[in-house]
Amino acid sequence: MNWNTRDLLCHCLQSIIDTIRRARFEIWVINNGSTDGSVEMIEQEFPQVQLVCNDANMGFAKANNIGIQRSRGRYVCLINSDVQLLDGCLDRLFEYMELNPNIALAGPRILNSDRSLQISCYAFPTVFNTLCHSFGLDRLFPRSNRLGGLYRKYWPYDTVRRVEVVSGCFCMVRREAIEKVGLLDENFFMYMEDFDWCKRFRDAGLEIQYFPYVAAVHYGGGSSGHAPQIFTIEAARSSILYWRKHHGRIGMLYISFLLFVRHLLRVIVGKVWCWFKPSDKVKLLSKIQTSRTCLHWLLCIPITSSFTTAEKC
């Protein structure tokens, strides 16, 4: 899926073509109404790529579902446009999945742009681990199995491991598993669709694994960097949707309260830091405004009914 990430997409496509040597593959790009020349770049530089052009940004889940339905392989790889594959990544991941038919979904080691490790495996959200994350306890105690449980920071990511959630920025999924549990839930415009999908795989008795012997670089923020306030609200909306879907109305109220407290604390702490670090004032004010916008949205959503991305106060 691509939305206004022309240069990153170019590097992503080239890395796929350059690093696959054994597996047969096809590439589908679902373009979500980009206006940055992405379509023209693909047509000129990658004529072998299958291109679908949506008139507007339909979101991550819906765009990927279009690609999944049009693709023909035994395996489907979801690859963000801001991901660059390293040598042998897809070949070895494909071979591993072939040797382990019990695995529904697997993800490789994910690196930041400086080649440091990026956290890419998570736990399913619970009352406790979400509370720890909301109050920053997972940052204060990142090596704690209990306090840092949501974002799995306490293990070195150096061995094959069964996990609950693998990041949707890059994963390989067995088509048979998709046929069993269904496509991505399109109610999630962006964020949390990977948590929801992995939970549905696990609930169906299927296995999810982390495979660290191959790697990809995830630059991050390729699309969200264009509109941080909108994407922050979308992250909050998706969290509420996830909790409502899997934990009911009480869960929805719980996560809404935690999100409100978290953004309120960000505003307060941000203003305090403006006094102590005036050199960072511009950056801090931007973050404060983002949290204030999210607080306003949280106060306006109709908690007792459904709501959409376009809904405004």
Cα 257 to Cα 30: distance, rounded to the nearest angstrom = 35
Mean pLDDT of the chain, nearest integer: 90
Of 229, 243, 134, 139, the C-alpha closest to 187 is 243
302 has pLDDT over 60: no
What is the Cα–Cα distance from 311 to 82, expressed in whole angstroms? 28
How does strand 103-111 pair with strand 165-166?
unpaired
- Comparing CA positions, the residue from 63, 65, 70, 303 lying closest to residue 184 is 65
96 or 282, which is more confident: 96
Pairwise CA distance, residues 249 & 255, whole Å: 10
- Residue 108's φ and ψ, nearest 5 degrees, are -85, 180
Quick one: average pLDDT of 245-271? 93
pLDDT band at 308 (very low <50, low <70, confident <90, very high): very low
Average pLDDT (231-248) is: 94
Name the least confident of 23-27, 149-153, 190-194.
149-153
- What average pLDDT does range 189-215 have in this prediction? 96
What percent of the chain has a predicted confidence (pLDDT) above 70?
A: 93
Please tell me whether residue 79 adopts helix, strand or coil conformation.
Answer: strand
Predicted pLDDT of residue 311: 40
Q: Each residue of 59-117: pLDDT tens digit?
A: 999 999 999 999 999 999 999 999 999 999 999 999 999 999 999 999 999 999 999 99
- Cα dihedral value 186, 190, 192, 197, nearest 10: 40
Q: Is 223 helix (H, G, I), strand (E, B) or coil?
A: coil
Domains contained in the chain, CATH given: 6-120+157-218 (3.90.550.10), 122-155 (no CATH), 227-300 (no CATH)
Q: How far apart, in whole angstroms, are the C-alpha atoms of residue 187 and residue 308?
A: 9
The bridge status of strand 50-54 relative to strand 161-162 is unpaired
User: What is the average per-residue pLDDT within 27-38?
Assistant: 93
- pLDDT-above-90 percentage for the chain: 71
Sorting pLDDT into bands at 50, 70 and 90, what band is 231? confident
- pLDDT above 80 (res 49): yes
Which residues are paired to 161 by β-bridges?
Answer: 210
CA atoms within 13 A on the CB side of 273: 16
User: Looking at residues 7-35, what average pLDDT do you find?
Assistant: 94
List CB contacts of 80: < 8 A, sequence separation 6 or more: 1, 12, 168, 169, 170, 218, 222
Q: What is the mean pLDDT of residues 269-291?
A: 86
Closest by CA position to 83, among listed 191, 157, 14, 170? 170
Query: pLDDT, tens digit, for every residue of 168-187?
Result: 999 999 999 999 999 999 99
171, with CB counted inside 10 A (0-12, 13-18, 19+), is buried
pLDDT at site 16 = 96
Helix (H, G, I), strand (E, B) or coil at 96: helix
Contact 236, 198 (CB under 8 A): no
pLDDT of residue 83: 96
pLDDT computed for residue 36 by the predictor:
92
What pLDDT score does 50 carry? 95
Average pLDDT over residues 193-203: 97
**Confidence grade of residue 312 (pLDDT, cut at 50, 70, 90):** very low
In this predicted structure, the answer to whether residue 125 has a pLDDT above a threshold of 80 is: yes
